[in-house]
A and B are shown apart, each in its own frame.
Chain A
Amino acid sequence: MKEVYINGIAAISAQKTFDGSFLENIEDYQNTLLIAQHPDYKEFIPPAAARRMAAGIKMGIAASKIAMKEADVEMLDAIITGTGLGCVIDSEKFVSAMIDNKEEYLTPTSFIQSTHNTVAGQIALGLECKAYNFTYVHSAISFESALGDGQLQIASGEASTILVGGVEELGPHTVAIHRTIDHIKTEPISIAEVLNSETKGAVFSEGANFFVLSDHKGKNCYAKLMDVVTYNTIAKERLIPIIENFLDRNHTHISQIDVVVLGYNGDQEFDDGYRMLSNGIFKNIQQVFYKHLVGEHNTVSAFGLWLASKILKTKTIPESVKINDIENTEPRMVLCYNQYRGKNHSLILLKKC
């Protein structure tokens, strides 16, 4: 079995992360919806092509290019993306036009671009990359499915350089209907209030997070990916044994974990699980979180992996992500745990490279 290294990373999020900086200047929000801080797409996509592209496609292409540049690779053995809701902007355009015009006067562009695999397909097209190309669309574990697939291929020697990423865009109708069922908070909330929020729903957002996985340690290596696993359901009382089992199978004990990255999103209905761990098995470990800074979306857990990778490489932890006071100057092992609305749980274990 080969080792899996993360040699390049990229994040486009509601914070200014596309330039490789590490949360040095935090944008303070007071909102129920966070829009990404977009890079200048002219650097990545010819303007004529960019005009036809929805936000998700642009974010995905730009993030893939940033990650590949960091890893210093030009070609890939696989392109694997995850997206929970896919290309909602084009889907909404086509559905609303279809309903409004009673199935007449429709044009194909938005239909063509509404397909879930549009981003992976466009990245392949841009690179003229004929390799393995996959898109996972399973809610909050869409990205982890892609990451696990990449890990499997590198560990088995099927591939040596793989691009994996998660991307999510905001569509106005999708936002509006998720407000009606309180998946989005009714009242704006500041980033400082998210951790102890007492209201229902989350702050929705958009973003793209991409990674280059390799079978060798690149000069820009961030971390070694030890394991990733997902669970469709976990009953509350089973959470701790499952985490312990996961560490066990990686010959690791909880006391060896230096930092845990948790998926708190400020939804009082579903943050309990995290809190139980924070006050329980993770009590003596440095804990960090990130959704207060970048919001919630189906592949935002990939931002958690970005954060974990940055922590391991830079050996610094920005003040803005700290949950507790436990300090760790030499982080060697980081564990990420995420779930969304009590379902689709994921665990990722990273080691310093």
Chain B
Amino acid sequence: MAITGMGIISAIGNNVAENYDALYHEKSGITRIDNIETIQRDAIMVGEIKFTDAQLVKKLNLPSSNNYSRTAMLGVIAAKEALFNAGITDLNTYSTGLVSATSVGGMDMTEKYYYQYLTEPETQKYIESHHGGDSTEKIAEQLGIKESFVTTISTACSSAANAILLGARLIQSGKLDRVLVGGTDCLSKFTINGFKTLMILSDTYNTPFDDNRKGLNLGEAAAFLVLESEAVIKAENKPVLAYIKGYGNANDAHHQTASSEFGDGATLAMQKALAVADLKPSDIDYINVHGTATANNDLSEGRAILRVFDTAVPPFSSTKAYTGHTLAAAGAIEAVYSILSLQNNVIFPNLNFKTPMKEFYLEPETKLVERELNIVMSNSFGFGGNCSTLIFSKEA
């Protein structure tokens, strides 16, 4: 399945070029939070996009009567870049779908106007921005997607990886000629306080796969890929950025929020993806790991990687020290980063790593590595036991 376009906005850049520049020059986007008033301000660090909502409204030229959540606005920015990058101007030439992913949806507006909704009519336009499908509907509208397959996936932190997986299957089965896939999630007080109660937020810069890791930094982002069928690529003589070679989805079936001790679901997801791609573990040149920097994830994921790759673990790194954990968008932004790795033959460093974990000897790449890469794996895991793995390749 060919990827012909991509778009992204995250704490380290407002488009693909800016994100690549930050990744390459080791510029992290982790800061104190500015756009949300929260008592947790001094207790947490976040990967925040520094535009205010008002600036985003202006950037998108939305009328003042608009009812866009921040999730929707970020999604529109990334989706538009992806479409532009794919050189698509007319959406009606081919059957085009949209599969987005979100976990927060319009929670930013819901938590802002929760009680006002009951009494203040001017806030009520946002009531319908809350549900998971709203940001996707807005993206479809902004892009001019009509009479089409448009849906939304929410499987917590693996959501966007699953949107990409579904898109690949829709193209493969011939149900669609072309599909935009990705995800979007904004920061919200809801997720900040929710993760705080779970005691998995770090009070400083997150340090994936480090023995002294203190938890994750939440982030906000959106990213989209354009997938097109072989027939379209041929007919339009289109350049291809990379290919989706394999995908795997499995459930850990262990606990609502925690990963199993030995990463059963993660192991299965990686194995399934390798099977779909018809590849051996030794074919993988690099893994962009989920690596949230929580005690639980990194241990469970590390053990799963050892189960799959045994003594020959390929180079790996987590890019969450750059962006924070962007929840439902994570699978999509890391797909963009995996493609950038393939295109530029670079492994982005796992920032902030110092001490290997006691339980095993696994050391992520800590410096930028330039080397020929042909096949890259990307992991995304989430609450509800959802585990997904994608494999990207340079060649078909």
What is the CA–CA distance of A102 and B170 in the complex, to the nearest angstrom?
Answer: 45
Q: Is the interface of B mostly helix, strand, loop or mixed?
A: mixed
Query: Smallest distance from the beta carbon of B156 to chain A beta carbons, Å?
Result: 5
Tell me which of B137, B155, B173, B265 contacts A134 (CB under 8 A): B155
Judge whether A122 and B256 touch: CB under 8 Å: yes
Tell me which of A98, A122, A127, A141 contacts B193 (CB under 8 A): A98
Judge whether B173 and A152 touch: CB under 8 Å: yes
What is the 8 Å Cβ interface bit string for chain B, positions 107-134, against chain A (1 contact, 0 not)? 1001100110110010010011011111
Judge whether B40 and A121 touch: CB under 8 Å: no
CB neighbours (8 Å) of B155 from chain A are 116-117, 120, 133-135
The answer to whether A181 and B124 touch (CB under 8 A), given A122-B256, A125-B255, A137-B154, is yes
What is the 8 Å Cβ interface bit string for chain A, positions 223-252, against chain B (1 contact, 0 not)? 000000111111000100010000000000
CB neighbours (8 Å) of B169 from chain A are 152
Judge whether B196 and A106 touch: CB under 8 Å: yes
The answer to whether A106 and B115 touch (CB under 8 A), given A137-B133, A343-B137, A344-B133, is no
**Among B223-231, B280-288, B382-390, the stretch in contact with A:** B382-390
Judge whether B175 and A152 touch: CB under 8 Å: yes
Query: Smallest distance from the beta carbon of A34 to chain B beta carbons, Å?
Result: 20
Judge whether A112 and B383 touch: CB under 8 Å: yes
What is the CA–CA distance of A197 and B265 in the complex, to the nearest angstrom?
Answer: 50
A14 at interface by CB-CB < 8 Å:
no
Judge whether A113 and B151 touch: CB under 8 Å: no
CB neighbours (8 Å) of A104 from chain B are 39
Judge whether B114 and A95 touch: CB under 8 Å: yes
CB neighbours (8 Å) of A178 from chain B are 127
What is the CA–CA distance of A104 and B166 in the complex, to the nearest angstrom?
Answer: 39
CB neighbours (8 Å) of A114 from chain B are 194
In B369-387, the 8 Å CB interface with A consists of 382-386
In A196-243, the 8 Å CB interface with B consists of 229-234, 238, 242
Query: Smallest distance from the beta carbon of A227 to chain B beta carbons, Å?
Result: 11
What is the CA–CA distance of A178 and B253 in the complex, to the nearest angstrom?
Answer: 35
Judge whether A180 and B39 touch: CB under 8 Å: no
Judge whether A107 and B127 touch: CB under 8 Å: no
CB neighbours (8 Å) of B102 from chain A are 137
A118 at interface by CB-CB < 8 Å:
yes
B210 at interface by CB-CB < 8 Å:
no
What is the CA–CA distance of A191 and B298 in the complex, to the nearest angstrom?
Answer: 55
B297 at interface by CB-CB < 8 Å:
no
**Among B15-23, B71-79, B244-252, B305-313, the stretch in contact with A:** B244-252
**Residues of B within 8 Å of A, CB-based: how many?**
68
Judge whether A112 and B198 touch: CB under 8 Å: yes
The answer to whether A103 and B39 touch (CB under 8 A), given A130-B253, A142-B133, is yes
CB neighbours (8 Å) of B133 from chain A are 84, 137-139, 141-142, 344
What is the 8 Å Cβ interface bit string for chain B, positions 293-329, against chain A (1 contact, 0 not)? 0000000000000000000000000000000000000
The answer to whether A95 and B110 touch (CB under 8 A), given A103-B39, A111-B198, is yes
CB neighbours (8 Å) of B107 from chain A are 95
Judge whether A128 and B384 touch: CB under 8 Å: no
What is the CA–CA distance of A132 and B146 in the complex, to the nearest angstrom?
Answer: 30
The answer to whether A98 and B256 touch (CB under 8 A), given A115-B384, A133-B249, A133-B386, is no
Tell me which of A102, A112, A138, A298 contacts B136 (CB under 8 A): A138
Tell me which of A94, A136, A344 contacts B194 (CB under 8 A): A94
**Residues of A within 8 Å of B, CB-based: how many?**
65
CB neighbours (8 Å) of A298 from chain B are 131
Query: Smallest distance from the beta carbon of B332 to chain A beta carbons, Å?
Result: 16
> Which of A79, A114, A233, A234 gathers the greatest number of chain B CB atoms within 10 Å?
A233
B355 at interface by CB-CB < 8 Å:
no
A86 at interface by CB-CB < 8 Å:
yes
Tell me which of A102, A116, A121 contacts B251 (CB under 8 A): A121
Tell me which of B127, B134, B149, B196 contacts A180 (CB under 8 A): B127
What is the CA–CA distance of A147 and B391 in the complex, to the nearest angstrom?
Answer: 26
What is the CA–CA distance of A99 and B117 in the complex, to the nearest angstrom?
Answer: 14
CB neighbours (8 Å) of B51 from chain A are none
CB neighbours (8 Å) of B162 from chain A are 134
Query: Smallest distance from the beta carbon of B167 to chain A beta carbons, Å?
Result: 12
A131 at interface by CB-CB < 8 Å:
yes
Judge whether A177 and B147 touch: CB under 8 Å: no
B394 at interface by CB-CB < 8 Å:
no
What is the CA–CA distance of A344 and B149 in the complex, to the nearest angstrom?
Answer: 9
In B86-124, the 8 Å CB interface with A consists of 98, 102-103, 105, 107, 110-111, 114-115, 117-118, 121, 124
Query: Smallest distance from the beta carbon of A57 to chain B beta carbons, Å?
Result: 10
Judge whether A116 and B132 touch: CB under 8 Å: yes
CB neighbours (8 Å) of A116 from chain B are 103, 132, 154-156
CB neighbours (8 Å) of B194 from chain A are 94, 108, 111, 114
Judge whether A131 and B115 touch: CB under 8 Å: no
A85 at interface by CB-CB < 8 Å:
yes
Closest chain A residue to B385 by CB distance? A121
A17 at interface by CB-CB < 8 Å:
no
What is the 8 Å Cβ interface bit string for chain B, positions 50-82, against chain A (1 contact, 0 not)? 000000000000000000000000000000000
B336 at interface by CB-CB < 8 Å:
no
What is the CA–CA distance of A98 and B268 in the complex, to the nearest angstrom?
Answer: 37
What is the CA–CA distance of A111 and B197 in the complex, to the nearest angstrom?
Answer: 8
A173 at interface by CB-CB < 8 Å:
yes
Judge whether A121 and B384 touch: CB under 8 Å: yes
Query: Smallest distance from the beta carbon of A198 to chain B beta carbons, Å?
Result: 23
Judge whether B251 and A133 touch: CB under 8 Å: yes
A353 at interface by CB-CB < 8 Å:
no
- What are 29 pairs between A and B in contact, CB < 8 Å? A79-B251, A107-B197, A108-B194, A108-B197, A116-B154, A117-B156, A120-B384, A121-B383, A121-B386, A122-B256, A125-B255, A127-B253, A130-B252, A133-B155, A133-B385, A133-B386, A134-B249, A135-B155, A135-B384, A136-B154, A137-B132, A138-B151, A139-B132, A152-B173, A180-B117, A181-B124, A181-B128, A233-B146, A233-B147
Given contacts A111-B198, A152-B173, 18 further A-B contacts (CB under 8 A): A95-B111, A98-B189, A104-B39, A106-B196, A115-B103, A115-B156, A117-B155, A118-B384, A120-B155, A128-B253, A134-B166, A137-B102, A138-B152, A142-B133, A155-B173, A230-B150, A231-B148, A232-B150
